[in-house]
């Protein structure tokens, strides 16, 4: 098949979050499985050292009364061709989406241009694609442009997080020359705004999201963020395909960023990681259960119930290390907990990939009490690194973590249903108790390390879906 993946970020070129891992890995996997694969993304100023990059043509896009020129740059890789849209004014900036002060105010115009440019580039390069796989709101207008222009390419729109919708004032319609006939409640209108995400949902042939449970949840008012009605209306076209992780990047047997390598068959290095991290952080943890967390500090991640639960939990004989950045008030709460319980918790407020690897490797448990979680990578990484996950059973966390059952001894972690600090606290205490029962804890950890959340299964599901879409158009 000829597949075009479109995303606003993808590893190894540009990354701010999980989307980049998923888009970059799918590019690799689809290519490796014998498909002619293209990856489309903006050429940001931050993208450096792309091998074999060459000019592949020019495109002209009408934005308002102006004609904006863009360059198509291509780079052949072992898996397929990366196609970059270069446009200095829109993408030659320091960041991808915005600064600390907030999103760039013209993001609607920037990604509207990008979506138009991708459609133009496909034509210009005569790619004759079977499928366009568009990801998240930044690519949400592509299915509309494909339909509007009567182009015969199947479209899949994947939602990685419904919380980011790309809603902009309706003036954008004229700027991007979108016919007003599409600006209806059944089209891309969303409470008076133009919604990129809604456009993706409405105009694509199929919609997917990144776990089966999240696919069900987003059709409910509780999780639907205003889009549940339109998602229910298209429920026959909505599927959930779980993300995998790249075990080349996340594997304690090969990880150069951790203090000592280890595996499920030779776990001794894990203890060394705990000892060395304690030294580095000047934080005594020997013999105590160490609970780790690596996360964006956002409402979504359950930091509010966590800080409440920790007020109690830190009175126990436990240690906690949290690495994260994000919302100011949540950062402050974590720092004040550290001030109150300096021997019990380290709150590390920063983004630090190497330290993240060390925390996964050193910790005995990994906390992820998310309010909602489309898929979640943290718990999958934690499993591989032998850090037993303690999670709220929602979205992808529900699909990957089975609560340990005392009677059947089945499970690979601990989970709770109700979103409350009481339930979280109970679950943390239960985990701590199991740590005291060494045989059970070791078994749980071993089961987790043997779980396979690689991409092979999920990639097949995408390819099956692409075939189905192709046969239906």
Q: Which residues bind ligand ADP (CB under 6 A)?
A: 17-18, 294-296, 323-325, 351-353, 356, 376-378, 381
In the complex, the smallest distance separating the C-beta of residue 92 from ligand ADP, rounded to whole angstroms, is: 26
Tokens of 186: 């059944």
Cα separations in angstroms, 190 against 142, 167, 168, 227, 360: 17, 8, 9, 9, 40
| Burial of 436 (C-beta count, 10 Å sphere; 0-12/13-18/19+) | exposed
**Chain residue whose CB lies nearest ligand ADP:** 18
d(CA 239, CA 218): 11
In the complex, the smallest distance separating the C-beta of residue 323 from ligand ADP, rounded to whole angstroms, is: 5
Question: 371 and 350 in contact (C-beta within 8 Å)?
Answer: no
d(CA 114, CA 91): 10
List b or e across 134-170, with b for residues whose CB sees 16 or more CB atoms inside 10 angstroms: bbbbbbbbbbbbbbeeeeebbbbbbbbbbebbbbbee
| Closest to 134 (Cα-Cα) out of 394, 473, 469, 471 | 469
In the complex, the smallest distance separating the C-beta of residue 22 from ligand ADP, rounded to whole angstroms, is: 9
Q: Which is nearer to ligand ADP, 190 or 250 (CB)?
A: 250
* φ, ψ dihedrals at 420, nearest 5°: -155, 155
Q: Which is nearer to ligand ADP, 179 or 352 (CB)?
A: 352
Q: Which is nearer to ligand ADP, 85 or 294 (CB)?
A: 294
In the complex, the smallest distance separating the C-beta of residue 334 from ligand ADP, rounded to whole angstroms, is: 12
Return the axis-axis angle of helices 303-313 and 328-340, rounded to nearest 10°.
10
Return the axis-axis angle of helices 353-362 and 268-281, rounded to nearest 10°.
130
| Burial of 65 (C-beta count, 10 Å sphere; 0-12/13-18/19+) | exposed
Q: Which is nearer to ligand ADP, 283 or 351 (CB)?
A: 351
In the complex, the smallest distance separating the C-beta of residue 326 from ligand ADP, rounded to whole angstroms, is: 8
Q: Which is nearer to ligand ADP, 183 or 351 (CB)?
A: 351
Q: Which is nearer to ligand ADP, 4 or 24 (CB)?
A: 24
Q: Which is nearer to ligand ADP, 21 or 120 (CB)?
A: 21
Q: Which is nearer to ligand ADP, 64 or 98 (CB)?
A: 98
Size of the chain, expressed as the number of residues it contains: 473
In the complex, the smallest distance separating the C-beta of residue 376 from ligand ADP, rounded to whole angstroms, is: 4
In the complex, the smallest distance separating the C-beta of residue 349 from ligand ADP, rounded to whole angstroms, is: 8
| Closest to 300 (Cα-Cα) out of 361, 214, 364 | 214
In the complex, the smallest distance separating the C-beta of residue 370 from ligand ADP, rounded to whole angstroms, is: 8
């Amino acid at each position: 098949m000829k597949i075009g993946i479109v995303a606003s970020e993808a590893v190894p070129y540009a990354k701010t979050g999980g989307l980049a891992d998923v888009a970059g890995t799918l590019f690799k996997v689809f290519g490796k499985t014998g498909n002619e694969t293209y990856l489309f993304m903006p050429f940001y100023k931050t993208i450096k050292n792309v091998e074999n990059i060459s000019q592949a043509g020019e495109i002209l896009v009408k934005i308002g009364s102006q004609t904006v020129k863009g360059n198509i740059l291509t780079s052949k890789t072992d898996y397929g061709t990366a196609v970059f849209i270069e446009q200095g004014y829109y993408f030659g900036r320091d960041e991808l989406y915005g600064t600390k002060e907030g999103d760039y105010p013209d993001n609607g115009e920037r990604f509207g241009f990008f979506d138009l440019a991708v459609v133009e580039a496909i034509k210009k390069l005569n790619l004759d694609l079977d499928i366009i796989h568009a990801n998240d709101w930044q690519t949400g207008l592509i299915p509309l442009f494909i339909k509007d222009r009567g182009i015969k390419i199947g479209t899949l729109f994947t939602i990685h997080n419904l919380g980011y919708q790309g809603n902009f004032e309706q003036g954008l319609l004229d700027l991007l020359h979108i016919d007003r006939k599409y600006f209806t409640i059944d089209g891309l209108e969303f409470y008076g705004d133009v919604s990129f995400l809604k456009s993706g949902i409405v105009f694509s042939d199929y919609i997917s999201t990144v776990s089966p449970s999240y696919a069900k949840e987003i059709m409910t008012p509780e999780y639907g963020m205003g889009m549940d009605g339109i998602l229910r209306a298209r429920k026959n076209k909505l599927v959930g395909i779980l993300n995998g992780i790249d075990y080349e990047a996340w594997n304690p047997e090969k990880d150069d960023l951790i203090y000592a390598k280890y595996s499920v068959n030779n776990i001794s290095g894990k203890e060394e990681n705990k000892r060395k991290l304690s030294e580095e952080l000047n934080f005594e943890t020997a013999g105590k259960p160490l609970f780790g967390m690596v996360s964006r500090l956002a409402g979504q991640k359950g930091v509010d119930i966590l800080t409440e639960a920790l007020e109690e939990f830190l009175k126990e004989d436990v240690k906690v290390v949290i690495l994260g950045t994000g919302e100011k008030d949540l950062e402050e709460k974590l720092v004040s907990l550290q001030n109150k319980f300096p021997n019990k918790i380290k709150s590390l407020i920063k983004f630090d990939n190497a330290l993240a690897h060390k925390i996964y490797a050193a910790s005995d448990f990994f906390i992820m009490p998310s309010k909602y979680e489309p898929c979640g990578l943290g718990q999958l990484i934690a499993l591989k690194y032998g850090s037993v996950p303690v999670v709220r059973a929602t979205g992808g966390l529900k699909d990957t973590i089975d609560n340990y059952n005392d009677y059947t001894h089945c499970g690979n972690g601990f989970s709770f249903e109700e979103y409350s600090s009481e339930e979280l606290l109970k679950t943390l205490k239960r985990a701590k108790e199991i740590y005291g029962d060494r045989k059970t804890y070791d078994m749980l950890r071993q089961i987790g390390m043997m779980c396979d959340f690689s991409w092979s299964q999920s990639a097949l599901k995408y390819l099956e879906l692409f075939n189905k879409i192709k046969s239906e158009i």
